[in-house]
Each structure stands twice: as C-alpha cells, then as structure tokens.
C-alpha cells in the first residue's frame, strides 16, 4: 500500500499548491498539485497534478552509494533532502536535477 506524505503547502488567494512524496508498490513518486484560478488559466482545469515517478530500487541504490557529503553521485539524495528542508523547490527543479544525474523517471501531468 502506498503512503502519501505532504511536505509542502502554499496558499495565495484562491490558489492552493502542495507537494507530496508517495512511497510504496516499488515506486517513489514526487507530486505537485495545484488548484485555483491561476491553475485554470495556465492548464485549462481548476485542479492539476504533475509528478515524477522513480523505481524504488533506483532510489535505494543511490542512497546506499551516496557519500556523506554532497557530491555529484549523491544528486538524488541531495535533491530530496533539499526539497524537504527548504520547501522552496518546484517539480521542474527536480526534473532538471534528475536529468543531470542520469536518473530515469516517468513524468505525468493531468487535470484532477
């Protein structure tokens, strides 16, 4: 069974955004959801979900190989820690870092 943990939430006027980490079923999903008039103007839907999905094995393998201090091989672990710690990242930043680190992922985006 998958476990969803919201780690970032922001509300401005009628616009609400949140990001969550979902773990389970052999996958790790980082999702960003938004709703409100701005979302509707940009995506044509009142609520929208974007996510990246990684194989849990890939995440665990990177975690085991990651050095204690930040360096290129620990890009995925640094990324997740940064996202939790600062609550200032966006999914597009995660995609850029995953691409740079050569980590395979699936991207999905759809109205909810």
Q: For residue range 49-81, list pLDDT tens digits in order.
A: 999 998 876 665 555 454 444 443 335 445 565
The DSSP code for 92 is H
Q: How confident is the model at residue 39, as a pLDDT? A: 97
List the end-to-end C-alpha distance of the chain, in Å, as a whole number.
Answer: 21
> What local confidence, expressed as pLDDT, does residue 62 receive?
56
Q: What is the mean pLDDT of residues 3-29?
A: 85
DSSP letter at 21 equals: E
pLDDT at 65: 52
């Amino acid at each position: 069974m998958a476990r969803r943990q919201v780690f970032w939430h922001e509300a401005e006027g009628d616009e609400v955004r949140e990001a969550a980490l979902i773990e389970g079923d052999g996958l790790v999903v980082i999702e960003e959801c938004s709703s409100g008039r701005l979302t509707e103007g940009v995506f044509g839907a009142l609520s929208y979900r974007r996510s990246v999905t990684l194989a849990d094995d890939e995440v665990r393998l990177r975690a085991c190989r990651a050095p204690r201090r930040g360096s290129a091989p620990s890009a995925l672990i640094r990324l997740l820690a940064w996202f939790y710690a600062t609550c200032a990242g966006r999914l597009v930043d995660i995609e850029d870092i995953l691409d740079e680190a050569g980590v395979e992922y699936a991207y999905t985006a759809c109205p909810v």
